[in-house]
Amino acid sequence: MILIDRPLVVTDTETTGLSAANNRIIEIAATRLHDGEEPLSFSELIDPGQPISYRITRLTGITTAMVFGRPGAADVIPEYESFLGDAIIVAHNLSFDRGFINAERARIGLDPMKNAGLCTVRLARRLLPGLRSKSLAALARFFRIPDHGRHRALRDVEITVAVLERLMIIAAEKHNVTELDELLEMQSRTYARINPYAKHIVYLRGDVLPKVPDEPGVYRMLDGRKRVLYVGKAKLLSRRVRSYFNAIEAHPPRIRQLIAKVRDISWTETKTELEALLLESRQIREFDPPFNRAQKRTTRRPYIRIGKDSPFPRITSHVFPRDDGALYFGPFRSRGQARSIVDVIERFFKIATCDEREFARGQRCMRAEIGRCGAPCEKLVSREAYSEEIERIISFLQGDVAEVQDRLREDMESAAASLAFEDAARLRDLHVLIEGLLERHGRIAPEIFGDDAIILHRAADEETVTAIAIRSGLFQGSLLISGSDTESTSNDVQVFVRNVFDPDLSVLDPIGDADQIRVLMHWLSAHRDEIERLDYNEFESNASLVDAIVSLSAIHCVQ
């Protein structure tokens, strides 16, 4: 709940009509609320000096006889003023009650009230915008508050107190309001307007933003309870975080809502933007922040699976890799893309596609009849020969596509010559797909649990080269290389390579971190024109890999 550090006096009036100038108060009631104190109540009938109409009697149950001889406003209003003191006056439709009280005060020679006010109608409009009516009766029904005895001042005060408590819970839980001043400010603003001089913004600008470093990293926006509202990454933390608090009114509505709730900012520095990107992905899954809608949507990237649980494994596409001993290649952009590559494999490589039950029948299928399967079900293909075919498929996925592309072109030309234009278009699309994958990744798809490499990256606006280590398809670390001191660089690279590819060192769990693989592959694709890849298995030793890294880094640093 919001801390009530100043007294609130919830007030209601019953009147002879709607005009403060022409009508009078016939009943006033109030309840005083303050943290740490028992609620106190005040209630008085007032003789208005004029008859009460039948319509008002039907509504309130108050008759002229009930108020005849009661104290007048000149006696009751000063008593109410003493009860109110310097508290914040709260009412449902505050302008109505305040208007009548001030009109009575003016008649007895008192100045208008100067107390701060809180209107539960205005608060409900901001906290419950989807509720059609914000009347006290509608809010009582919405919150399931018994509303018997309404239109008597003290009972209406009791209902208003219950409504206020529920609105404060919504403000605290949904909008991270922790102080009474914030609640008072909320009633008079919309999300489209954020006061740039609000206390939390002044604090963040003055005390937090100057401390944000000029480094890559991940920043976290926190609410008043230190819950993470948003996780973001930046190439330059200081510039990115400050941008939220410049020209606030120009931000989209969702960003303005975020800024209205932020009470603190924390960050983690990283060596590179890629490390920030990977850390951002992990922390979004860890903290589940409410304002990271797009990043929280887990994109199911499919993989091609080559099974190892059978001497004659099938080639299939799977959404998630599993720890089942199979080989997984990917991820691909879509299921359709992965399915197309599987179609190419089934077209040009003689592999079985039947399941275990069909295979156990020992009868050849249509694929075997047309020469696209060697019929291992009839024992016409040995395990060794089938394994060689699987190795050819693996080579194809790793970039050996010349033979397949030539056959695709031949089949496409043949289909076009036979006027089978739909088949020709399909073959053309497969050819283009393979060319595109090869151009972006240097292969159709890497084996995600066996991809070991050093990636050298140098952005156009940087003077250093970043060596990025990948082991089992996962990012393992990075090293900034300046290229100026060759001997020192060689020592650093040597330690870096040894620490990453030491067979005794464990790596992150590829199965549990498939999303990290997706993020890494996306980054490599986006920066493909700025990177140079050194596959670990293509070097005879760590020493030869170190020499290649040092020499290539020196060349890139000079450029």
Examine residue 191 and state whether it is found in any structural domain, yes or no: no
Concatenated DSSP letters for 339-380?
A: HHHHHHHHHHS------HHHHHTT---HHHHTTSS--GGGT-
Predicted local distance difference test score (pLDDT) of residue 228: 95
The domain of 497 spans: 453-558
Which of 31-35, 160-164, 190-194, 518-522 is predicted least confidently? 190-194
Instruction: Count CA atoms within 13 Å of residue 519 on its CB side.
Output: 21
Residues 284 and 308 in one domain: no
Once rounded to an integer, what is the mean pLDDT over residues 370-391?
83
Examine residue 1 and state whether it is found in any structural domain, yes or no: no
Of 379, 406, 441, the position where a domain reaches its end is 441
- pLDDT at residue 110 tops 80: yes
Q: What are the strands, taking DSSP E only, across 16-122?
A: 25-33, 40-45, 88-91, 117-119
Residues 232 and 275 in one domain: yes
Rounded Cα distance, 50 and 64, in Å = 8
Please state, rounded to an integer, the average pLDDT across all residues of the chain.
85
CB atoms within 10 A of CB 300: 12
Examine residue 194 and state whether it is found in any structural domain, yes or no: no
Helix, strand, coil percentages for the chain (3-state, nearest 5): 45, 15, 35
Once rounded to an integer, what is the mean pLDDT over residues 113-141?
89
Residues 326 and 363 in one domain: yes
pLDDT bin (cut points 50, 70, 90) of residue 367 is confident
Which residue is it, tokens 């008649």? 107
Once rounded to an integer, what is the mean pLDDT over residues 357-382?
78
Residues 308 and 334 in one domain: yes
278, containing H or E segment:
helix 273-287
Which of 140-144, 282-286, 393-397 is predicted least confidently? 282-286
Residues 272 and 369 in one domain: no
Q: What is the CATH number of the domain that holds 224?
A: 3.40.1440.10
β-strand partners of 10: 31, 90
pLDDT bin (cut points 50, 70, 90) of residue 13 is very high
Reported as a single tens digit per residue, the pLDDT across 34-75 is 987 889 999 999 999 999 999 999 999 999 999 999 999 999
Residues 460 and 424 in one domain: no
Residues 95 and 37 in one domain: yes
- pLDDT at residue 510 tops 50: no
Predicted local distance difference test score (pLDDT) of residue 233: 94
Instruction: Count CA atoms within 13 Å of residue 38 on its CB side.
Output: 2
Domain count for the chain, please give it.
4
Give the rounded percent of residues in the chain with a pLDDT score beyond 90. Answer: 41
DSSP 97: H
β-strand partners of 479: 467
Rounded Cα distance, 144 and 162, in Å = 10
Tokens of 512: 């549990």
Predicted local distance difference test score (pLDDT) of residue 318: 79
Whether the Cβ atoms of residue 200 and residue 209 lie closer than 8 Å to each other: no
Which residue is it, tokens 């109540």? 41
Q: Of residues 514 and 120, which shows the higher confidence score?
A: 120
Residues 275 and 356 in one domain: no
Whether the Cβ atoms of residue 39 and residue 77 lie closer than 8 Å to each other: no
Q: Collapsing DSSP states into helix, strand and coil, what is residue 542?
A: helix
Residues 274 and 320 in one domain: no
- Angle between helix axes 402-417 and 335-348 (nearest 10 degrees) is 90
Examine residue 193 and state whether it is found in any structural domain, yes or no: no
Reported as a single tens digit per residue, the pLDDT across 281-311 is 889 888 989 888 755 555 567 888 888 777 8
Of 126, 159, 186, the position where a domain reaches its end is 186
Residues 550 and 526 in one domain: yes
Reported as a single tens digit per residue, the pLDDT across 150-172 is 889 999 999 999 999 999 988 88
Q: What is the 3-state secondary structure (H, E, C) of 511-528?
A: CCCHHHHHHHHHHHHHCH
Examine residue 71 and state whether it is found in any structural domain, yes or no: yes
Concatenated DSSP letters for 123-175?
A: HHHHH-TT-S--SHHHHHHHTT---TTTTSHHHHHHHHHHHHHHHHHHHHHHH
Rounded Cα distance, 518 and 321, in Å = 12
Residue in 178, 179, 174, 96 with CA at minimum distance from that of residue 130 = 174
Which of 286-300, 339-353, 410-424 is predicted least confidently? 286-300
pTM of the model: 0.52
Once rounded to an integer, what is the mean pLDDT over residues 494-498?
87
Residues 365 and 462 in one domain: no
Examine residue 235 and state whether it is found in any structural domain, yes or no: yes
- pLDDT at residue 30 tops 70: yes
Rounded Cα distance, 131 and 35, in Å = 30
Can you list the pairs that 245-254 forms with residues at least 24 positions away whose Cβ atoms lie under 8 Å? Answer: 245/201, 245/204, 245/205, 245/209, 248/194, 248/196, 248/201, 249/192, 249/193, 249/194, 253/191, 253/192, 254/291
Residue 116: φ, ψ to 5°: -60, 150
Examine residue 336 and state whether it is found in any structural domain, yes or no: yes
pLDDT bin (cut points 50, 70, 90) of residue 333 is confident
Q: Of residues 459 and 509, which shows the higher confidence score?
A: 459
Residues 436 and 319 in one domain: yes
pLDDT bin (cut points 50, 70, 90) of residue 511 is very low
Positions annotated as catalytic residues are 151
Whether the Cβ atoms of residue 137 and residue 163 lie closer than 8 Å to each other: no
Of 149, 165, 186, the position where a domain reaches its end is 186
